[in-house]
Amino acid sequence: MLLPSFTSIVFLQLAFCSAANWTYTGPDGEQHWSKSYPYCGGIFQSPIDIKPELLRFDPSLRPIEVQNYNLSPNEQLTLGNNGHSVQISLPSTMYISSLPNRYTAAQLHFHWGSASRPAGSEHLVNSKQSAAEMHIVHFNSDRYPNIASAVDKSDGLAVLGVLIDIGEFNPAFDQFLRFINGVKYRDQKVQVPAFNIRALMPARLDEYFRYDGSLTTPPCYPSVLWTLFRNPVTISRKQFLALATSLYSSHAQESTPVPLNSNFRKPQPTDSRVVLVSFKEGRGLQGTLSLTSPLSRKRVIQQLLVGDLADLADEGLYQLLPSGSEKLHAGKKKDFKDQESETLSKWKQKTLKPPSWKKGQSTQSVGKLGLAEDTLSYVSLEQRVSNQLKQPHAENQLGQALRNVVFPKLNLKSYLDCKSDLALPTIRHILSGRPTDEVLELDRLLTKALMNQKKTIKQSVPMTNSGGFSPATLPRKPHNQGYPHPWLLPMEWED
C-alpha cells in the first residue's frame, strides 16, 4: 500500500488536531458529527438494523473467498489504540478474491459495549445486538493505489463484518488480546507476531448479508460494500472484559483517563435500501423473493429516460418498481389527499424549477444507463456543492444539498445492482431532464393512480421524505477540505 507523502502526513497531523476530536457521546457525540462531517447526516449510512422485511434472497451471491489470510508468525503486525478503537494493520498481500474487483486488506478493528452492558455491535440483526463486532477493511486495489485514494469513492471500500457473542473461549483472539496492555492509551502501538486472521472469522463464509453503506465513523462517506456474516463467533467473558475494560481513549499523560468502551454508532435509516442474503432458509427469511435482474430493472429506467411517460403511467409505474406501492416505507400518518397535494406541489417545484446549483446535472447524471458504473468522489462533490453555496447564509444548506445530489445517483446504482428500491426522489431526478408536458402528464396520471389505490393502502406513502431525506442537524461549517480525512495513515484509519 502506498503511503502519503511527508507533506500529506504533516497536514494530516494538523488536521487531526483541529478536526478529528469526535466522540460517541457528549458535545462531540454522533448526533453532532454532521456539523463537521456533513455526510454523517446524509444517506446510505451504516450501521443498520437488519430486519426480516429488508431481506431479499439473491442466488447469485457467491461464497466469500479470502486469500493469504493465514499469516506467518515470522511477520509482524502493528497493534494500536487510535482513541476510538483497537486496530491491527494488515499486509497488502491479503485480499478478497470473490468480488468483481480485487479488494486488498488494510486493517481490522473492533466495536464493543461495556462491562455493565456487554452489547456493542454496530449492526443489529432483527433488533438483536451482539456483544462486539469486528470489521476487516479492504480497498478497491484494481482502481485505486491505496486506501487514501479509495476512501471517498463510491466503489472504494469493502468491509467484512463479524458479529461477536460471549460464549466459548476463542484462542485466535488471544493472539492479540495478550498484548492489549501495551496499547492502553491513545496513540500507543506495539508490534505483535502475525497469526491466522481467517481464524477470527466464522467457519462458514457462504452465509452473509450484503448491502451498500458507509463508514460508521466520520467522515461517514457512503463508500462501503458491506458483507456481514450470518453466523457470529464467540469469545469468553474474560476475553470480552479484556477488550472492554483495558483501554482508554485518552493519552497517557492526561490526568483523568477516559475509558474506551461502548464505541458503536446507533442504527441508521435504511433509505430505500434492501439487504441481499446469500442463504434462503432460516428464521425471518420466509417469503423473501429474488429481486428482478438489473437487466429488467434497466427497462424501467429506459422507460423513464426516453419512453412515453403517459404510457408508463397507464401501465402503473409502481407495478414496474420492485417494491410495489403497498411496500413503500411508511412515514408519519397524514391525510392522504393533503399529502398528495403537498407532494404534487413540491414535485413540480423541484422538477420544473430546480435550484440554480442543480441545473445541468440531470442529463449528465442520469442521461445514460451506464451511470451505474460511474464512480462518485465524495470529497469532490462536497467541495463543488460547498463552493456553489457560497452565497450569504447558505452554509447550513450543505448537508441537505449533498443529500439531494448524492441520493439519486447512489439509489439508482444500488437499484440496478438489486440492493435498493427505486425511490421517488430518484424518479424526480430522472424526469427533470424530460419535456415539461410529458412530466406533467405523468404527474397527473400518477396522482390519479395513487388516489385509486387509496382504498387498498393502509399506510400513507411518504412522498415527501422517501429516500431518507429525514431532518438532520445540518452543518454550519464544512470541515477542512485539504485532504479527505486524517485517519488515512495506516494506524489512523478506521471505518
Same domain flag for 243 and 386: no
Q: Residue 134 and residue 123: Cα distance in Å, rounded?
A: 11
Let me know if residue 39 belongs to a domain. no
What are 111's strand-pairing partners? 133
DSSP string, 74-107: TSEEEEEE-SS-EEEE--TT-EE-SSSS-EEEEE
Burial of 27: CB neighbours in 10 Å, binned 0-12, 13-18, 19+: exposed
The pLDDT of residue 327 is 38
The pLDDT of residue 311 is 73
Domain count of the fold of the chain: 2
Full domain range(s) for residue 313: 294-452
Let me know if residue 219 belongs to a domain. yes
Let me know if residue 160 belongs to a domain. yes
Can 485 be counted among the known catalytic residues?
no
Which residues, in sequence order, are CB contacts of 359 under 8 Å at separation 6+? none
Let me know if residue 20 belongs to a domain. no
pLDDT tens-place values along the chain, 495 residues long? 333 333 333 333 333 333 458 999 999 999 999 999 999 999 999 999 999 999 999 999 999 999 999 999 999 999 999 999 999 999 999 999 999 999 999 999 999 999 999 999 999 999 999 999 999 999 999 999 999 999 999 999 999 999 999 999 999 999 999 999 999 999 999 999 999 999 999 999 999 999 999 999 999 999 999 999 999 999 999 999 999 999 999 999 999 999 999 999 999 999 999 999 999 876 556 656 777 788 888 888 888 888 877 777 666 665 555 544 333 333 333 333 344 344 444 444 443 343 333 333 433 444 445 544 578 899 888 888 888 877 655 556 788 889 989 999 999 999 999 999 888 788 888 888 888 887 887 777 666 655 665 544 444 333 333 333 233 332 333 333 333 333 333 344 445
Let me know if residue 408 belongs to a domain. yes
The beta-carbon contacts of 373-378 under 8 Å, at least 24 apart in sequence, are 374/154, 374/409, 374/413, 375/143, 375/153, 375/154, 375/155, 376/153, 376/154, 376/406, 376/409, 376/410, 377/152, 377/153, 378/39, 378/152, 378/153, 378/154, 378/219, 378/221, 378/222, 378/223, 378/406
Same domain flag for 320 and 210: no
Same domain flag for 303 and 399: yes
Same domain flag for 181 and 308: no
CA atoms within 13 A on the CB side of 216: 28
Let me know if residue 127 belongs to a domain. yes
Q: Residue 293 and residue 480: Cα distance in Å, rounded?
A: 41
Residue with cell 445541468: 360
Cβ neighbour number for residue 65 with a 10 Å cutoff: 12
Same domain flag for 200 and 321: no
Same domain flag for 241 and 303: no
Q: Residue 399 and residue 475: Cα distance in Å, rounded?
A: 6
Do the bridges between strand 132-140 and strand 103-112 make them parallel or antiparallel, or are there none, so unpaired? antiparallel
The pLDDT of residue 203 is 97
Let me know if residue 458 belongs to a domain. no
The pLDDT of residue 188 is 97
CATH for 55 = 3.10.200.10
Same domain flag for 230 and 318: no
Question: How many residues would you count in the chain?
Answer: 495
Same domain flag for 170 and 131: yes
Same domain flag for 265 and 408: no
Let me know if residue 167 belongs to a domain. yes
Same domain flag for 327 and 189: no
Same domain flag for 240 and 334: no
Label residues 272-288 b or e (16+ Cβ within 10 Å = b).
bbbbbbbbeeeeeeeeb
Same domain flag for 217 and 321: no
Q: What is the pTM of this model?
A: 0.79
Catalytic residue among 84, 329, 479, 485: 84
